[in-house]
Structure 1
Amino acid sequence: MTQQSSVFTASHGVMTAEVGVISGELELRTQCDDDGALTLAITYSGADEWYTLPGEGYRLHDPRDHEVVHRILATVLARP
């Protein structure tokens, strides 16, 4: 299993499954197992409680794409 993490500022907010939209300085964490199953989580930077992004069953065709997909997600979530 691999894990990637990025801190970014979300001025327009990011929707979570648990608490709705959160904004400000956030941290995105993605985990990918050897079968390509992808887990997405987000938190306020420095906080202990993690939230999930809406949706389920995320899967990569090739787990080696994890780093690239993580960077794309972090960039899209950070755009104004």
Structure 2
Amino acid sequence: MVALARLLVIGFVVLTIIYVCLSFYSRAVRRSKLEAEWDETRGPGNRESFVKTGLREYDGSLRRKLILGVYVVPTIAVGLLIYFTNFA
């Protein structure tokens, strides 16, 4: 039981670090794409407001929510591995 608790705690910490890194990376990539888009078209308003509006839209997007799969996929994989190793 202690081994399972240790696995869960360490796994949660590792997955959280991966999630934070992916989240920052994805947001930085989106920011650079918005800046490049504004530079090409010299869009409406100033650059900062254009990027801020684009990032606000990104925060509610499906891509942002898919990053939460970092928690779901490995948890299901480890659960299936444990199940098949012990019961199948």
Tell me if both proteins adopt one fold, taking TM over 0.5 as the criterion. Answer: no
Q: Which of these two proteins has the greater Rg computed from alpha carbons?
A: 2
Which protein has the bigger helix share? 2
* Structure having greater relative contact order (Cα 8 Å, sep ≥ 6): 2
User: Could you state the TM-score of these two structures normalised by the residue count of structure 1?
Assistant: 0.30
User: Could you state the TM-score of these two structures normalised by the residue count of structure 2?
Assistant: 0.28
